[in-house]
Structure 1
Amino acid sequence: MPRGSSPKRERQYEHIRESELDRGESEERAEEIAARTVNKERARAGESESAGRTSLRDMSSGRRGGRRSHSGAAGPTYDQLYEEAKRRGIKGRSDMDKAQLRRALDDRKS
């Protein structure tokens, strides 16, 4: 968390971090997700010095509630799957379609 964050943002960070740990994310990944989410909310509320365009235009994390990530019939988007494959170092990902990316990621979990 950035220095000078409000107690509300500190609580929000801890809540998100704990939720991610409960879902099975690593400590490092849980902290990253929590920090990004809180920083986005700070930017949307005008609490940060700078803000990216997507932070300001996109719907809030609370309202979205995971709509675009790992839920519903479609699940994660192609771009989300591709970024996850990139993060995990899956070879040949640029030639894969959405279904192939999903299978490669599922195979890698085992």
Structure 2
Amino acid sequence: MPAGSNKKRERQYEHIKDSVLDRGESEKRAEEIAARTVNKERARHGESKTASRSSLDDISSSRRGGQRSHSGPQGPTKEQLYNEAKKRNIHGRSTMNKKELEHALGR
């Protein structure tokens, strides 16, 4: 659980973690998903010091409900692909569209 979180966020974290474990994911993956979801909600509600643009501009995690999971029909968003390309230092990424980013990342 992230430092500085309150009881509500701790309950939310445990609930999400339990739900993911019930779906058959590993303990490590369940903790990661729960932490990411809770951190995004904290950012959206102004409870964290920093927040990514996707945390603030995207629809809420609870409403989205896995619509954009990496195994979903549309896969990751363009912004998620862009961020991965940035981490891999792929040149020309700022002018690429979603399909070009997928190709550059080898998807």
TM-score (norm 2): 0.66
Offset at 1:63? Answer: 1.4
Offset at 1:2? Answer: 1.5
Match for residue 61 of structure 2?
61
Match for residue 29 of structure 1?
29
Match for residue 77 of structure 1?
74
Q: Would you say 1:18 and 2:15 are equivalent positions?
A: no
- State the 4+ residue runs in structure 1 displaced beyond 3 angstroms: none
Percent identity between the two aligned chains: 70
In structure 2, how many angstroms separate the alpha carbons of the residues matched to 1:49 and 1:68? Answer: 26
Match for residue 101 of structure 2?
none
Offset at 1:70? Answer: 7.7
Match for residue 87 of structure 1?
none
In structure 1, how many angstroms separate the alpha carbons of the residues matched to 2:75 and 2:63? Answer: 22
**Structure 2 residue identity aligned to 1:5:** S
Question: Cα–Cα, structure 1 residues 61 and 13, in superposed 2: closer, same or farther, change >3 Å?
Answer: same
**Structure 2 residue identity aligned to 1:31:** E
SS at match of 2:69: coil
In structure 1, how many angstroms separate the alpha carbons of the residues matched to 2:10 and 2:69? Answer: 24
In structure 1, how many angstroms separate the alpha carbons of the residues matched to 2:47 and 2:76? Answer: 29
**Structure 1 residue identity aligned to 2:29:** R
Match for residue 38 of structure 1?
38
Q: Any conservation in 1 of the 2:17–2:30 contact (CA below 8 Å)? A: yes
TM-score (norm 1): 0.65
Question: Cα–Cα, structure 1 residues 5 and 78, in superposed 2: closer, same or farther, change >3 Å?
Answer: closer
In structure 2, how many angstroms separate the alpha carbons of the residues matched to 1:40 and 1:58? Answer: 10
In structure 2, how many angstroms separate the alpha carbons of the residues matched to 1:79 and 1:5? Answer: 28
